[in-house]
Each structure stands twice: as C-alpha cells, then as structure tokens.
C-alpha cells in the first residue's frame, strides 16, 4: 500500500479509508469481529498558555493540535483538543508522532483572531475549519516517537 506524502513508515495512516468517518449501524445482540491496532511511540506534550502582556487569561481556553502533514488532513484521529487549567497549564498524551499546528480557542467558540468556530474533527467541514484556524496561527510543533515535551509555551493572542 502506498503511504501518504509526508508519512512515516509504520505510521497510523496507511492510505486506508478512515474508519471513524465510515460508521456501520449495529443492532443490539449482533456479534462483530473487531480488529484494533495499537502502536508504540506515542508522544506527550505539556505546557502553558501565556497571557497577553499585563493581562490574565480568559476562562474556558482550549488548545488544539491539528495535523500539518497533508497525508493526515482527513484523519479525524490526528486532531486533538485539551482544556487549559486556570493557571494556563495544558497537557496532551498519547499523540501520534508527526507535525502539528497548535492554536488556542476560547469556550465562546472564538479562536485567536476572534473568528467564530465550534468545529468538530468528526466531519469534513469541522476538519476544514480547524485546519484554517490552525494555519492562521502559523505555529507548528513536530512530535517524535516516545517524545515527552515539557514546558511548551503557547502565546494567547485575543482578537483585535
């Protein structure tokens, strides 16, 4: 099978259709055979969202990781989101290695540039919105197998 451009050998995306996007209705009592693949090498990312100069962070901020490698744009399992604690700390675990855009969003559905969005990676439209917002941030991070990144700083930039 041909690997997507920018993918790593042995990565989770082998060019197959994303099973998350294609559901199969199952009735109560139906027996299924399910195959789950677990891979070694997940990364961790822990850091802090830095407030604007001499200001505090607004409540309800989340941090998003969005795949920056074209071969993973439609893989819903490569999109991650975590809530930021009151002190600005955030943490991701079990992240597939790869290159990601990283950006913040407030609970009112506003990203750094104050554009409205309440996207979900589970549908194509939501992934498109998340990619657009992530590209605007223009901040990338590359995570390697088994890497643990500590003290990563993401600057929060409120809308103008």
Alpha-carbon distance of 60 to 160, in angstroms, equals: 19
* pTM attached to this predicted model: 0.71
% of the chain with per-residue pLDDT over 90: 44
Domains of the chain listed by start with CATH number: 43-155 (2.60.40.1120)
In a 10 Å sphere around its CB, with 0-12 CB exposed, 13-18 middle and 19+ buried, how is residue 104 labelled? Answer: buried
Alpha-carbon distance of 1 to 51, in angstroms, equals: 46
Question: Is 68:101 a contact under the CB 8 Å cutoff?
Answer: yes
Q: Given this model, what pLDDT does residue 150 score?
A: 96
Average pLDDT, the chain: 80
Q: Given this model, what pLDDT does residue 22 score?
A: 60
Question: Is 141:68 a contact under the CB 8 Å cutoff?
Answer: no
């Amino acid at each position: 099978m041909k690997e997507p451009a920018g993918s790593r050998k042995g990565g989770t995306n082998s060019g197959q259709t994303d099973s998350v996007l294609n559901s199969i209705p199952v009735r109560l009592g139906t027996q299924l055979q399910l195959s789950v693949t677990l891979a070694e090498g997940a990364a961790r990312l822990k850091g802090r969202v830095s407030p604007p100069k001499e200001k505090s962070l607004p409540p309800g901020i989340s941090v998003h990781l969005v795949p920056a490698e074209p071969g993973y744009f439609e893989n819903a399992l490569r999109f991650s989101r975590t809530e930021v604690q009151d002190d600005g700390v955030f943490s991701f675990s079990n992240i597939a290695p790869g290159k990601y855009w990283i950006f913040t969003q407030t609970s009112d559905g506003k990203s750094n540039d104050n554009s409205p969005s309440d996207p979900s990676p589970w549908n194509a439209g939501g992934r498109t919105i998340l990619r657009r917002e992530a590209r605007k941030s223009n901040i990338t991070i590359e995570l390697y197998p088994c890497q643990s990144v500590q003290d990563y700083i993401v600057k929060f930039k409120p809308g103008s």
